[in-house]
Amino acid sequence: MNRHEKAATGADPKHSSKPAGDAATALDLPAVPLDADAKAYFAKCREKLGFVPNVLAAYAFDLDKLKAFIAMADNLMLAPSGLSKLERELIAVAVSSANHCHYCLVAHGAAVRKYSNDPKLADTVVANYRAADLDARTRAMLDFAWKLTVEPWGIEDADRARLRAAGFTDRDIWDIAAVAAFFNMSNRVASATDMRPNDEYYAMGR
């Protein structure tokens, strides 16, 4: 029985292993009232995307946590950086691939399609970035992000040197590490709560 069938039978979501119906996660965490800033942010999401991402709905049980998540995510992914928005999304997808994170692979795979206008690139990086047609700079960046994800204790001067040789500044290296670290955290929260991507993500950019 899938999660939609469970919802139709009236199964108690508290005892289900999957989110019920359109629930963002498998946890029973009712949303708190949003303040004006959060309402405005959600309205902006609806205007730009047509929906509120489930990751935001998932955090809406605690207004402080919601705002902290939004602030960190927007700073890392949208603020000025030596990394392009596409490069940052590629890091998100490569890290999420290593962690097999359903939510982030779907949501950020859609973002890679949007920024690259290349569904083949996005789908390949979701599966295995090493099989993608990447330039040397991007391959070095994703090699570093992958290693930081699966073998963080193994990062050493030679890894940073390879990034510098590929044209990244030390500030860029910080940003690569920060984005990779953020998505390692997000992947684990998403996996722990069985966070489900919005259906709209699957068709975006195709």
Mean pLDDT by 10 residues, the chain (206 residues): 40 45 88 98 97 98 98 98 98 98 98 97 98 98 98 98 98 98 98 98 95
Q: In this predicted structure, what is the pLDDT of residue 39?
A: 98
Concatenate the DSSP letters of all residues of the chain into one string: --HHHHHHHT--GGG-SS--TT-SSSS--PPPPP-HHHHHHHHHHHHHHSS--HHHHHHTT-HHHHHHHHHHHHHHHHS--SS-HHHHHHHHHHHHHHHT-HHHHHHHHHHHHHHHS-HHHHHHHHHHGGGS---HHHHHHHHHHHHHHH-GGG--HHHHHHHHHTT--HHHHHHHHHHHHHHHHHHHHHHHHT----GGGGGTT-
Contact 110, 204 (CB under 8 A): yes
Q: In this predicted structure, what is the pLDDT of residue 23?
A: 87
Structural domain of 93: 85-203
| CA–CA separation, 192 and 1 (whole Å) | 21
Q: In this predicted structure, what is the pLDDT of residue 21?
A: 53
| CA–CA separation, 27 and 188 (whole Å) | 14
Q: In this predicted structure, what is the pLDDT of residue 97?
A: 98
Q: Is 37 inside a domain boundary? A: no
Q: Is 148 inside a domain boundary? A: yes
Q: Is 76 inside a domain boundary? A: no
Q: Is 161 inside a domain boundary? A: yes
Q: Is 65 inside a domain boundary? A: no
Q: Is 66 inside a domain boundary? A: no
Question: Using alpha carbons only, what angle is made at residue 18 by residues 119 and 91, rounded to the nearest 5 degrees?
Answer: 35
Q: In this predicted structure, what is the pLDDT of residue 62?
A: 98
Q: Is 154 inside a domain boundary? A: yes
Domain count, the chain: 1
The pair of three-digit structure tokens given for residue 62, joined into one six-digit string:
């605690």
Query: 95: domain CATH number?
Result: 1.20.1290.10
